A and B are shown apart, each in its own frame.
Chain A
Amino acid sequence: MQNMVNVYFYGKQYSVPAELTIMTAMEYAGYKLVRGCGCRHGFCGACATIYRIKGSNELKTCLACQTQVQEGMYISTLPFFPADKRTYDMEEISAEQRVMMELYPEIYSCIGCNACTKGCPQSLEVMQYIAYAQRGDFAKCAEESFDCINCGICTSRCPAGISHPMVGVLARRLNGKYIAPKTEHLAERVEAINSGAFDEIIEKVMQKPIEEMKELYNTRDIEK
């Protein structure tokens, strides 16, 4: 006999095998998912979910695709939560504190309740990355928010109405483009290719008979 547990999708009871995730349990119960399901492996943030175990007053949040069902789970999915993304031209902005201040001024209304951090299924220090953004320390904000999958749970919990993942992506882009050190070998190689330095040799390789290519491939030296 399979080990079954009782769970409640939107308040309605279903008996499902205990080894399933919330996502596969919904399918087992008969749901055909369109919303709330993307990568199915913890990378896209489509499956934000909120639940409470019967008899407990603690509200928990998680990713439906990464969380095993438990007896007495009262489950509601959160397939969409209105966040507010501001638009900008990456070429026109810079890594100055005032850029964030102008685009996302509401971050200064954070009351320090830490609900965002408690809700994050990636265990990120969300309130901390918002604090870094407030200070204009985009490198630290980028580092701290790096594993964010844009599930929107923090946004749904925030009394200050902050769209945390949008703040994070701006900080990371500023960091990647303006703060991180420039890569000289990359610029040089692009330049060399554009100037035609590899045209002749690549043409030659393309023309080689397959037998010769096989020989070259099987005897090529491999960097240690």
Chain B
Amino acid sequence: MFTAEMLESIKKVEATRAARIGVEPRRMTAEEKDELLRKFHPDYRAEGFQEIKVGPNKGEKAPYELGTLLHSNSRLLGAPINLEKVDYDVDVLVIGGGGAGSSAAIEAHEAGANVMLVTKLRIGDANTMMAEGGIQAADKENDSPQQHYLDAFGGGHFAARPELLRRLVMEAPDAIRWLNDLGVMFDKDPDGRMVTTHGGGTSRKRMHACKDYSGAEIMRVLRDEVWNRQIPVVDFTAAVELIMDDQGQVAGAVLQNMETGVYLVARAKTVIIATGGAGRLHYQDFPTSNHYGATADGLVMGYRAGAPLLYQDTIQYHPTGVAYPAQIFGALVTEKVRSLGAMLINAEGEAFMHPLETRDVSAASIIRECRERGKGVPTPTGFGIWLDTPMIEMIHGEGTIEKRIPAMLRMYLNYDIDMRKQPILIYPTLHYQNGGLEIGGEGFTKAIPNLLVAGEAVGGIHGRNRLMGNSLLDIIVFGRNAGKAAAGKCKEVTLGRMNLDHSQTYAEELKAAGLDTQEVSPLLLPKYTFGMPK
């Protein structure tokens, strides 16, 4: 499947392979990393951003495409919505059927609340399903929550909110225990010890995995549990706007059936936004590893209602997205491939960097290798760098790839590339939204009473960059917490008259700021119709 030019370059990779085994490339110094990020990380490209002109984060910057959605009007302006006709009336409304939403629904149900989950596609059609590499938790003797804290804090450029990070690391072992008790099949040794590896930026081997279907295994168990509990799941239904009451509390959401277009009113005493990420906004034209519904809807709805964002200007580009073949362009090649020993190699066969630098540094370094140093391998869509996968079996023995990363092997074999024998071509892909809606330590937004946020839609847990394995962890820790907190809170809530006044006020602010994007938001689904794929 590789082109002749690529095969020539592979020869150079093969020529240096034996000599590279067992030799660890130097890690960059703090200064080198800073300069590299400034020059080559997409977060530093001014053209990729715009200034937010209205709302609580006015004056700050946001990725251009997100900014446009924030500068657009509600889908409901002028729509005949009758808020008196309530279609669903619940204690806890969970928006989003990924890992965070499902964990929240299970815990709210466990606490005895009347909970309902609405989701845009099916439950489990979510970024959670796609996570491959694993989930962190400091549960081994040589490790500790404070070591985990240090890794995550440093990896996130010392910008994480301490009260959020504390919860993340302190409740991590219990999250693993909870999942294990629900029946998640973690990779274990015969004596029951967890098989754990490094991820980029970890100082201890604390990455727990379920082969390279970690997220899928977690998501299918959570989904099965939601179904077992017979928690109402309203699928193919998107939340399109939050509903407020006359006391300024959140009071539910307007929903829309994705197939029929019909609007529905859900009244709720507490609302949990768990709508995940934004990869499908294709910032700076990057391809993405995200699922079809990752369009930042929760951020847009929360912001319009008055909840501030935090770190909305920091995006994670995963260093190893597929660069070739075109059919799977942008799909993720899990970091675990590097954890298992595969090195990043340029067109000349040189190991130009340590394979396990943090993600932002790795992505920037790959971009530099291609753009500035001209040592990328040309592909139909741009450039790629080799990920030398045959090293894995040289280091750990034959059969390791099939056993530990079967999803990766299968994905490439579909296109006649056998990663056990040939290296693969990668380039950074748009992967994760580091920022999101701001919450306090208990999971509630600070601006809107009874509104909670969990999962990738939250900003501040990881700071300005996230380590592999800390997101699957955060959706469980903060999802569970949100479910419990919402179930506790709903007992004290009395709702007033419901309204959508905030969307009207927002429209006026947009007008006053001279903004007219001709679009409505949230986006709900990307527009690919009649287009070539991204």
Contacts and interface: CB of A to CB of B under 8 A. Distances in A.
Interface stretch (A4-12, A23-31, A70-78, A129-137): A23-31
Contacts of A88: 228
Contacts of A189: 138-140, 173
B191 A44 contact: no
B190 A27 contact: no
B150 interface: yes
A68 B327 contact: yes
B194 A186 contact: yes
B533 A24 contact: yes
Nearest to A63: B414
Interface string B512-529: 000000000000010011
A183 interface: yes
Interface of A: 17, 19-21, 24, 27-28, 30-35, 37-44, 46, 66-68, 85, 87-90, 122-123, 142, 146-147, 149-150, 169-170, 172-177, 180-187, 189-190, 193-194, 198, 201-202, 205-206, 210, 213-214, 216-218, 220-223
B292 A37 contact: yes
Contact of A66 (B121, B144, B414): B414
Interface in B208-233: 211, 213, 215-217, 220-221, 224-225, 227-228, 230
A199 B141 CA distance: 17
Contacts of A41: 130, 289, 291, 328, 331-332, 411
B530 to A, nearest CB: 5
Interface in B355-379: none
Given A34-B525, A68-B327, A210-B158, A43 B230 contact: no
B129 A174 contact: no
A223 B30 CA distance: 19
B291 A44 contact: yes
B162 A206 contact: yes
Interface string B293-332: 1000000000000000000000000000000001110011
Nearest to B228: A87
Given A66-B411, A68-B327, A210-B158, A43 B173 contact: no
Interface residues of B, number: 87
B291 A176 contact: no
Given A146-B185, A149-B216, A217-B154, A198 B129 contact: no
B174 interface: yes
A43 B533 contact: no
Contacts of A180: 185-186, 188, 192
Contacts of A19: 326-327
Contacts of A90: 182-183, 225, 228
Given A34-B236, A38-B292, A180-B188, A146 B198 contact: no
B203 A193 contact: no
Interface in B157-200: 158, 162-163, 166, 169-171, 173-174, 176-177, 180-186, 188, 190-194, 198
Contacts of A202: 145-146, 149, 166, 169-170
Contact of A223 (B126, B144, B198, B332): B198
